[in-house]
Structure 1
């Protein structure tokens, strides 16, 4: 299927990463058992999968789903709904839920992911952004090596700071993603200075890559998307918020309305896929992480710079690969698309995507539109030319994507 050079790169990479993939299998086992224990504790049964309509009063499947998620994430409460349209919507709901005019949001992991920039907004922008509502915003850049700048955090924190924000994953940044242990250190640091500050973590791409979640390391509130890790490739839409009960409740009032919160909301036949997706998520996340490690090992052989290195600890799905030109970048992303089971015939091109500041090229041959637990890759067209690969419901598909991308680059004389 592939020429001898590509097959040799594949074989060498798999020999190199063999020990790391066995470590991942142990993480998968423990996370799988954790999810099953939560199902068993709350006596999940077939009748929990029935849908509700209208107001959705007394939807026991929805209520138990929240309890299961809370247990899995080591939280007091959770809000799991198909009504969240994206990770950005879910994060925005959490932030608007706990912040009030005059409060400050302080991001301590540098500039957040591009799609949050409009949520934060500017004072008086008229869009209903955080700053339009009189919530001030500040951020602390990371140190050159990607670590938090604790001296700067200390100087920026004040009694006005209501929420400290942490982005677990790198987003479109050439920096390490933060492990749960590192997030725990950040939580302890800010809580020692201001015990009542709310620590919020954008947990997208990180679920089930480690044995613990940020809520188990002291975070007050976390949020993520169901079309990423925890949806297990089956949830067709949605998001989750988990953490301390009082903060989850405030977020629920933002999702619906004060006095209504999470007590209503027709699930419209989505419950079974959300439960089953959560059941499958630990295994599928493990498959995707193996694929990322394989990609790093292959491209490092060829002299490309990757982040993280194949042997580095993993705390999210994302594998960043730095190329030397936009031609390499585009050929790589188009190769990932060619390996898809869905829309393999489509040729992605850079375009001005809403919410992003530069043209973006995206490979997204997925069963769920935008489902980034499925094999996908995207990149802003800007220097340095970095592709961000994530997902893969099976390790075999991840390998096929990487090898097809290599073949595409080779055919264009780029290797």
Structure 2
């Protein structure tokens, strides 16, 4: 036994690392590109230590906040950005973007199937009371399911198109689906297609991308292939495991301004907002993000290789291209699933003694089990895993601030399965 691992697990890990070495080198090249891109943006806007100073009250003339917005806009290839600790989650950030742009009578059309569970309450459900959803404000919603192979249904989009389709939603990551996440190139193809449909009906459409989990996994970001607006969370990729909270919205200047009016108030927008000491962590987190995302993606590749060796299905497979952090692993029963997630928790540096159990988490439609021994509560750039307890029994693993921790987490989870005679 080495550090408590069965010798078979150590052997499996050594074999997996030999197999994935070419992929790790390929990922290193993406890390280098994105790291240099971030540094260039810092240099262009002359980031200095006085930009890290805290602000209070209204936060007027906060040069750190203003410069952070400019740096984010450059990094993501956008005209403008809104980066704030006041966004409480990715869901809040996405909701701010949707409510900021859409108006009564407009229609939101998601073309990547049903979006992530936590957005369902933002969209609203038929027959619900006055909850403040998009539906309550007279904003229509529809979605085009993906094809069986996880691809976009181009003819389905054409059939669902209406002249009042004001916004098209694209979810980059898989969410709780057994499908590929979408690459930036594929997002560009979607953008061109729907812009063409809008042109045919002599209307305009805003293309919105939920960019969560995808930042810095590729060389390009969605605005660089034509997306009008993107949003994401700072407790995921771009916060670098350091930002204590927050989110970002980036894209066309007038759309970012509308989102800022929703975050604060019309006429105020992004001109105010005390940063309350968070600015340094947000800058430093962005600086570290390309490297840490690379560590996490390597960890996902390792996880896929390990479980494929053991006869489990993984998505994506270890040798496939990556466009987000998430690694899906399909298990044979709820017992396998629960043991795996509990094993990930057991490998944490924080709260390793806690044993997660399935529970009815707000915003989710099935009981969910979550492993999250993180320094930032809910920080999914850190090693974490979650799964709805429903068939097929799929665990979604994301994050890991160091590749070594990713390895430790996967090996500990496998040891948990071995100890319970599930392997």
**TM-score, normalised to structure 1's length?**
0.99
Match status 1:321 vs 2:329: yes
1:158-307 map, 5 Å: 158-195=162-199, 196-307=204-315
**CA offset digits 1:4-51 (Å, max 9, x no partner):** 110111011000000000000000000000000000000000000001
Partner of 1:109: 112
- Counterpart CA distance in 2 for 1:404 and 1:374 is 16
8 Å Cα contact 1:122-1:132 kept in structure 2: no
Correspondence for 2:352: 344
Counterpart for residue 60 of structure 1: 63
Q: CA deviation at 1:3?
A: 1.7
Question: Structure 2 CA distance, aligned partners of 1:158 and 1:411?
Answer: 56
Q: Could you tell me which runs of 5 or more consecutive residues in structure 1 were left unpaired when the two chains were aligned.
A: none
1:151 equivalenced with 2:155 (yes/no): yes
Whole-Å Cα distance in 1 between the matches of residues 418 and 136 of structure 2? 50
Separation in structure 1 between the aligned mates of residue 421 and residue 64 of structure 2, nearest angstrom: 55
For the residue of structure 1 that corresponds to 2:82, the secondary structure is strand
- Which of 130, 137, 145 pairs up with 1:133? 137
User: What is the Cα deviation at residue 405 of structure 1?
Assistant: 0.3
Conserved 8 A contact 1:328-1:409:
yes
Q: Which residue of structure 2 aligns with residue 142 of structure 1?
A: 146
**Count of equivalent residues:** 415
Q: How far apart, CA to CA, are the structure 2 residues paired with 1:15 and 1:347?
A: 33
- Structure 2 Cα separation of the partners of residues 125 and 375 of structure 1: 38
Deviation at 1:227, TM superposition (A): 0.1
CA distance in 1, matches of 2:140, 2:93: 20
In the alignment, the residues of structure 2 paired with residue 344 and residue 156 of structure 1 have an alpha-carbon distance, to the nearest angstrom, of 48
Q: Residue 350 of structure 1 contacts residue 381 of structure 1 at CA under 8 Å; is this kept in 2?
A: yes
Q: Deviations over 1:216-245 (max 9, x none)?
A: 111000000000000000000000000000
Match of 2:397 among 381, 384, 389: 389
Structure 1 position 122, deviation (Å): 2.7
Contact 1:362 1:378 in 2 (8 A): yes
Where in structure 1 do 4 or more consecutive aligned residues deviate above 4 Å?
none
Distance 2:10 2:242 in 1: 32
Structure 1 residue 158 displacement after superposition: 1.6
The Cα RMSD (Å) is 0.6
Unmatched runs of 5 consecutive residues or more in structure 2: none
Query: After superposition, where does 1:25-36 map in structure 2 within 5 Å?
Result: 25-36=28-39
Give the secondary structure class of the aligned counterpart of 2:41: helix
- From 27, 37, 40, the counterpart of 1:37: 40
SS of residue in 2 equivalent to 1:165: strand
Deviations 1:79-116 (A, max 9, x none): 00000000000000000000000000000000000000
Give the Cα separation in 2 of the matches to 1:146 and 1:408.
Answer: 32
The answer to whether the aligner puts 1:121 opposite 2:124 as a matched pair is yes
Map Cα deviations across residues 341-368 of structure 1 (whole Å, 9 max, x no partner).
Answer: 0000000000000000000000000000
Summarize the alignment of residues 43-82 of structure 1 with structure 2, pairs less than 5 Å apart: 43-82=46-85
2:28 matched to 1:20?
no
Find the residue that maps to 1:194 and give its secondary structure.
helix
Question: Matched residues in 1 for 2:386 and 2:421: separation?
Answer: 22
Q: Secondary structure at the match of 1:207?
A: coil
- Offset, 1:155: 1.1
Paired residues of 1:35 and 1:279 also in contact (CA < 8 A): yes
| TM-score, with structure 2 as normaliser | 0.98
Output the CA distance in 2 between the equivalents of 1:81 and 1:3: 46
Map residues 348-367 of structure 1 onto 2, 5 A cutoff: 348-367=356-375
Instruction: State which of 373, 378, 388 in structure 2 corresponds to 1:380.
Output: 388
Separation in 2 of the partners of 1:83 and 1:372?
18
